[in-house]
Amino acid sequence: MNTEKPFENHYVLLKRIPDLHKKAESIRDNISRMEAGLRGETRLLQKLLELRLPCQFKIYSNVRLQMDDWRVQIDCLILTDRCCIVLESKNIYGDLYFDAESEDFYRQDENQLETSYPNPYYQFMKHLRFLKEWLRIDFPEIKLTGAVVMTPRFCRIRKKPAHYPIYKLESIIEKIIDMYSGYPSPLLSETKFHALDQMIIKKQSSFTFPPLCEFYQIAPKDLIPGVECPHCGLFGMIRFPRTWTCPNCKKNSMYAHVKTIHDYFLLIKNYISNREFREFCGVDSIYTASRMLKKMNLQSNRGGAWTYYSPKKDR
């Protein structure tokens, strides 16, 4: 398991699988979706720079919270003295339809092609339910509200139920002001506002993600092995005494294997043996591999007759 950003994991995986691998297209599609989501969240945060309220307020992005096994990731949270405002960003262009009867959400593009997506209204409602429970003991008085924000420059909300708080980015500042004004008096004192602010910051949770070979059900043997050249990107640097040499660009690197082992932990599993290190990096000598592993600031663990190495846990 690792706590890296999914972006990094996917880019690493895409570099290490053949272009024609059966899972390559799915990985590229997921990267495109994550990139689109990040662009939408960035546009939302830029728009929120215009926000002015007659009170102190705080804006948090990418809020990760957890209660037992229930975890949520909220794109944007605004704390005021009257309410908490949840904003979910969706970067989906085209003509957008929210069907009240079927509860479906789909996009129609310029060619009249329809693409279905998970209904963001229910993700938004889930986050409200989470926050209501998360705040219940310490801050039961705070009110919760919010909206789903469609962030593309070119989109039209063609159909939606009246009770769905789903708006285009260009109107969100006015909608936030309306939400705030809907609660006529402050509910949090300055002391309690500061306490809740600190609670949100301190309770941020680092989510763990499974190695991507496990997630995509890719056999580790399908990956392209070898140490990656930091200069030209070739996999398969050759080990010489105290350095790696690239057969393509002829440049050297003493520590190129460090990133390769980082890739291994992201993609395959969070521990590695001497034999696995030699196979993945292309090191012949068991003694050379042992010296290299011991110098990498890894945690060593004994498992029967074998020693395994894993990333050190954050203290």
For residues 159 and 55, give the distance between their C-alpha atoms in angstroms, rounded to a whole number.
Answer: 35
Residue 211 lies in a domain: no
Instruction: Indicate whether 248 and 172 sit together in one domain.
Output: no
Of 262, 254, 263, 259, the C-alpha closest to 311 is 262
* pLDDT tens column, 257-302: 999 999 999 999 999 999 999 999 999 999 999 999 999 989 998 8
Residue 58 lies in a domain: yes
Structure confidence at residue 6 (pLDDT): 63
Instruction: Indicate whether 193 and 235 sit together in one domain.
Output: no
The residue ranking higher by pLDDT, 96 or 315, is: 96
Residue 72 lies in a domain: yes
The reported pTM is 0.85
Domain that holds residue 168: 6-202
Which CATH number goes with the domain that contains 242? Answer: 1.10.10
What percent of the chain lies above the pLDDT cut of 90?
A: 87
Instruction: Indicate whether 18 and 125 sit together in one domain.
Output: yes
Instruction: Indicate whether 178 and 239 sit together in one domain.
Output: no
Instruction: Indicate whether 260 and 186 sit together in one domain.
Output: no
Evaluate if residue 3 carries a pLDDT over 60.
Answer: no
Q: Specify which of 154-158, 165-169, 207-211 reaches the highest per-range mean pLDDT.
A: 165-169
Tokens 């972006």 map to which residue?
A: 7
Residue 214 lies in a domain: no
> Total domain count for the chain?
2
Mean pLDDT for the chain? 93
Instruction: Indicate whether 22 and 169 sit together in one domain.
Output: yes
Structure confidence at residue 295 (pLDDT): 93
